[in-house]
Chain A
Amino acid sequence: MAKYLLLKHYRGAPAAVNDVPMAEWTPAEVEAHVRYMNDFADRLRESGEFVDGQALAPRGEWVRYDGEGRPPVTDGPFAETKDLIAGWMVIDVDGHERAVELAGELSAAPGAGGKPIHEWLELRPFLTEPPTITE
C-alpha cells in the first residue's frame, strides 16, 4: 500500500548492460520487447498493483517566467546535462521490497539478441499524507 513511480530514461542513466540502440534491433526483437512491456503491465493489472503508465515523447522544452507582462522564456531541452524521461509507470504495492522486485523485472525486458537489456530504472516513492497515528 505504497505508491512508487518507475521512471524509464532516454538518457542520463548509466548505460544498460545490453546497450544496443533500439533502431538496430531486428523487428522480432522490437516485437518481443513491446510484448514484454505490455505483458508486464497486464500482470500488474491482474495482481491489483497497477495505477497508471504513460510513454513520453523525447522532445521537450524548458519554460521559465520572464517578468511581468512578458511571455515565458523557452529553451532547452538542455539534454547534455539533464536526463530525459521516456515514460513512467505508477504502481501501488505492499512495500519497498516488492517495488524493487517489479523494477528489476521491468529492467529485464528483452533487447538485442533477445537478451535482457539490464537497463537502469529510477524508482521513486510517492510522498503521501501522514498516517493517522504519528505521535
Chain B
Amino acid sequence: MREFVPVVIGVLVRRGAGFAAAEDAVQDALVEAIRVWPSNPPADPKAWLITVAWRRFADAARADAARRRREELVEQQPAPGPASTTDDTLHLYFLCAHPSLSPSSAVALTLRAVGGLTTRQIAAAYLVPEATMAQRISRAKRTVSGVRFDRPGDVATVLRVLYLVFNEGYSGDVDLSAEAIRLTRQLAAGYDHPEVSGLLALMLLHHARRASRTGPGGELVPLAAQDRSRWDTRLIAEGVEILQAALARDRLGEFQAQAAIAALHADAPAAAETDWVQILEWYDELAALTDSPIVRLNRAVAVGEADGPRAGLAALAALDDTLPRYTAVAAYLHERAGELDTAARLYAEAAHRALHLAERDHLIRQAARLNAR
C-alpha cells in the first residue's frame, strides 16, 4: 500500500493542497484503507486512495474557517484527470531533500513521505523515541511548507539523502538499505541522470555482498576474507549493467566512480585477483571529483595494494592523522610491510579510536592476533 503514498501526496499537492496537509490527509486515507479494504477491496487502490485522501483534505480545509483561501482553491479544482504520477513523485523527492533541511530531517521526511513508512518504523530504525521522530518530521514539514513544489532542487541533495538512508543498514524492523534501493530505483525510473544510475549501481553492488560482510556472531569480515560464493551474482550483474550504461554517457560523477571501484571488487573471483591498478585509477578520478580526505585515505589503501605497503605508507603520510580509520589503515599497511610490533600497537590504538562497535571488535582481534604470535 505504501508505494502509493508519494503518488497520492504528489497528486494532492499538484491540485493545490499544502504539503503538510496533503501528508496528513494521505495518512488518514491509509488508516481508512486498512479498515475498509479487507472486506471491500477497491478495483483501483491508487484511485481509491487519491479520492479518499482528497476528500479528507477538503473536509479538513472546509472545517478550518481560517483556511478559507484554501477552500476556494478546492472549489476551483478541475475534476481529476489522468495524473502524471511519475513527475509528482519526483517533485516529492526534491522537496523532501530540500537544502533548507538538516540531513537527519531530510532523511526522516523522505522515508515518511516518499517511502510511506510510519513514524514508528522510522523511529525504530534510527533508535530514537517515536515522539522525537514525530517532532523531527513535523518540523521538517513546516520547513518546506513554503517551498514551491514545482521547482526541483539539486539532484545531488536527493542522492545524498538516499545514500545516508542506505548507509544506515538496519537496526529496527525496517531494512533501510533495501528501502534506499527501492527509492533509488523509483527515482531512476522517473529521472534520467547518470549519477542516479551511479548511486543505484553502487547500492546494488554493496548490497550483493551484504550476507558475507558479517560472521555468525555479527563480527566484521573484511573484504579479502569474505566468502565470495555468498555474493549475490544477480545483483552484481544488474549493478554492473546499470553502471556501464551510465559511464557510457561520459558524465562522470562521484557515485559512478565509487560504483566502478565496487564493481572491480565484485568482479574479482578471489581477493588476490583484484585489479588494484585499475581501482587506483578510479580513486584518482574520485579524488579529483570530490577532494575528500576520506577518499584519499581509501586511495592510500589502494596504493598499498597496487604499489606495495611502503608506497601506501608514503601516500598515508601526506594525510591528516586524525581522520577516522587513519590509524587502522596505518596498522594494516605496517603489517603488510612486515613490521608486526608496530602494526599490533597501531591496531590497538585504532580500536580505541573506532567509532563503530563491530569495527572496534575487529581491530581488537587484529591486535590480539599479532600479539599472540
Instruction: Name A residues whose Cβ lies closer than 8 Å to a Cβ of B.
Output: 1, 3, 45-52, 92-94, 125, 127-135
Q: How distant is B226 from chain A, measured CB to nearest CB, in Å?
A: 9
Q: How far is the CA of A46 from the CA of B138 in the complex (A)?
A: 10
Q: Is B87 an interface residue (CB 8 A)?
A: no
User: Which listed residue, A3, A50, A52, A130, touches B359 by the CB 8 Å rule?
Assistant: A130
User: Which listed residue, A3, A94, A127, A133, touches B356 by the CB 8 Å rule?
Assistant: A127
Contacts A94-B102, A129-B169 given; indicate if A50 touches B222 (C-beta within 8 A). Answer: no
User: Which listed residue, A94, A125, A129, A130, touches B104 by the CB 8 Å rule?
Assistant: A94
Q: Given A48-B104, A92-B127, A128-B357, output 4 extra A-B contacts at Cβ < 8 Å.
A: A48-B108, A92-B128, A125-B355, A135-B265
Q: How distant is A68 from chain B, measured CB to nearest CB, in Å?
A: 27
Leading 6 A-B pairs by shortest Cβ distance? A48-B136, A130-B356, A131-B167, A48-B135, A127-B357, A135-B223
Q: Is B296 an interface residue (CB 8 A)?
A: no
Q: Which residue of A lies closest to B258 (CB)?
A: A133
Q: How distant is B263 from chain A, measured CB to nearest CB, in Å?
A: 13
Q: How distant is B112 from chain A, measured CB to nearest CB, in Å?
A: 12
Residues of chain A within 8 A of B223, CB atoms compared: 135
Q: Is B230 an interface residue (CB 8 A)?
A: no
Q: How far is the CA of A128 from the CA of B170 in the complex (A)?
A: 12
Of B104, B358, B359, most buried by chain A (CB within 10 Å of CB) is B104
Q: Is B338 an interface residue (CB 8 A)?
A: no
Of A51, A92, A135, most buried by chain B (CB within 10 Å of CB) is A135
Contacts A127-B357, A132-B177 given; indicate if A51 touches B168 (C-beta within 8 A). Answer: no
